[in-house]
Amino acid sequence: MLALHFALFGEPLYRSYEYLLREDKNIGRVMLEFEHAGRVYGLVRVLRRERGRIVQDPSELRLTENGKVLAWGRVAAVQEQLKSIIGIDKRMFEEFIWVQQEKLKEILNMAPRQRQEILDELFGFSAFKKAWETLHLYQREYDREKNLLERDPDVVELKNLKQQYEELMSDLIKLQVDVETLEVDLSEVTKKLGKAEETLKSLEALERETEKLKEEKSLLESRLSETQAYINSLKSQLENRRLEAEEYKKTLENLKRERGEILSQFSKNSLEELSQTVEGIEFKVGRLRDEVANLKVEVRKAEESILVVEAENVCPTCRREISQSFREELKNRLNKENIEKQQKISRLEAELENLEFEHKLILEAKTRIELLESKIAETEKLIQMRERDVGRLVEELNEKEKLEWELKTGLDKVSKKIFEFKVEDVENARKTREELLLKRNEILNTIKHQKRLIEEKKSYVDSIEKRIRNAEEKLKRKSLVEDVLKIIAGLRASYKEVVPLLRGMYIEGLREAVQSVMDSLTQGSGRNLYVEIDDEYTPRLIGTAGFKRDANLISGGERTWLALAYRIGLGQLIMEAKTGQNLELLILDEPTEALGTEDRSIEVLATAISNLKMVRQILTVTHSEELAKEASTRIFVVKKNEVSNIEKM
């Protein structure tokens, strides 16, 4: 039963999985197969012991349908898929499908109030109570808000506020019209004042200029004279720089010509080619020196071999004894080869001497060209410097000549202005400007005063307008709050009335379901027992004589029947309400509590269970042979050598 519970829901029944995995094992596997709605489903779950804890291994988790994998690897995904298939959650299984040992009569032993709370929650009535209580909190909050809104000062004074607003708006419009008229007058005066100030400024500027005309004329004449002298100096410097540039160009031509003559002497076009020729000669010299040295070594070795041949009758190479004739032949051959090598050494030394002489000449030419290249570069820089000086002097000369023309033109203009100035024009312009300025200031002060009044009234209008809007919003809110309070009152009244009606309907359905199970249980017993259930879901038995008895006043066998009927009937009702399916599975764990063999009560219970045709499959765990022999299938579990062996009968 514990393994079946774990396979279906994957959660421990207690605080850990210790009750499922043997103490000496690190892994345990549960495989469950069941049929539902014509399909065969399979579940595999694995437990592992890791670091002192037992945990479920998601990697081994599998849910299959007719052999095809539906979900795997994630506990939540498998559980969601399984619930959508069978419609049963863990609580429903533990409360109504699996009647655990010693819990069969638990619901009969509960206090009526506790039983009512539990079943109300299962039937969904607790949601009505919670809603009723929550609505009361909202009702108090909305009542408090309604009282605050009714006493709000702006709401009470709304009519007076609107009257004040109309009066202020009338005053504000009149002030704005006055300001607009004054602003038109101000615009005209400002335009006239602007023209008068421009005229005065022009005349005053002319007056100041006239006072400075003589001094300015003298200054212009002095600057003109200095500029003309500086122009003559610049022309002289310009001529000298041009001559120096020409001399440097001639020197550059001579240097380039000498460089060309040296290169043509050796049939070369550039310093790079000459350098490559030097490197080639140096390579040949090195190679010839190595070859001469190697030949001298060979000559010395040959002379040593000749001495060996003359002194001994052995081969100088392998040290074997040789004949006199071969000795003479070998000696002559060695002497001949030695003479040829010495002649070759002489030829190579002569060639080496010629190459070294040629190397010296080309190296001297290379050094001279490098010196010429340096002088050419330096001369070219000097030419560039002189050309830049010429350009700078030309530019400066042009500027000074331009300045000369400007000074002459300015001098002519100053002389002309001396005869154009009149003192009386300045006095008339000052008088006109002062009159217009006084008039403009008067208008500005009036406008400023009017605008200050407008701002004050606008501020007051905004304040009253805001208070009016707030009051109107509060009135809307008050109306809404009153509507909500009516709705809340109606809902709370409805909730209070509907729960007893719904509970009565469910109790009647529960009574019919329990009675149906009781009829099946007592079938063939010769007894007719009727069940009555009150508003607190408390069951009573009614015998044939019509006497009502509470569950604690009936026999042990009758209590077992009543508990079993109540459990199954309640399970049927809850299953149909929550899943729309019938209760097809019932698991009874030791249901023979308080039953004996002497009164045949166990035999009667076995017959009663067999009569429960509305439940498709009933699994019963029992030690009672009387109960077991009535089962269609019996499974015996016997432990041998610490291993459980299972035998199906």
**What CA–CA distance (Å, rounded) separates 592 from 624?**
8
> Does pLDDT of 146 surpass 90?
no
- Per the CB < 8 A criterion, the answer to whether 251 and 377 are in contact is no
SS3 of 172-237: HHHHHHHHHHHHHHHHHHHHHHHHHHHHHHHHHHHHHHHHHHHHHHHHHHHHHHHHHHHHHHHHHH
Q: Which of 76, 77, 86, 91 is nearest to 32 (CA)?
A: 86
For residue 535, what are its two tokens?
Answer: 């508003």
Residue 5's pLDDT is 92
Predicted confidence (pLDDT) per residue in 153-168, tens digit: 777 777 787 787 787 7
For residue 552, what are its two tokens?
Answer: 């604690």
CB neighbour list of residue 581: distance below 8 Å, 6 or more residues apart = 87, 575
117, amino acid identity: E
Q: Any idea what the Cα angle at residue 423 is, between residues 417 and 426, rounded to 5°?
A: 100
CB atoms within 10 A of CB 619: 16
Q: What is the pTM of this model?
A: 0.47
Extents of the domains making up the chain: 1-86
Residue 264's pLDDT is 78
Predicted confidence (pLDDT) per residue in 215-252, tens digit: 777 787 787 788 878 788 878 887 888 888 888 888 88
- 3-class secondary-structure state, position 166: helix
CB atoms within 10 A of CB 117: 17
CB neighbour list of residue 357: distance below 8 Å, 6 or more residues apart = none
**What CA–CA distance (Å, rounded) separates 297 from 508?**
134
How would you list the strands of the sheet with 585-589, edge to edge?
A: 98-99, 585-589, 617-621
Q: How confident is the model at residue 547 (pLDDT cuts 50, 70, 90)?
A: confident
Task: Round the average pLDDT of the chain to a whole number and report it.
Answer: 82
Residue 317's pLDDT is 67
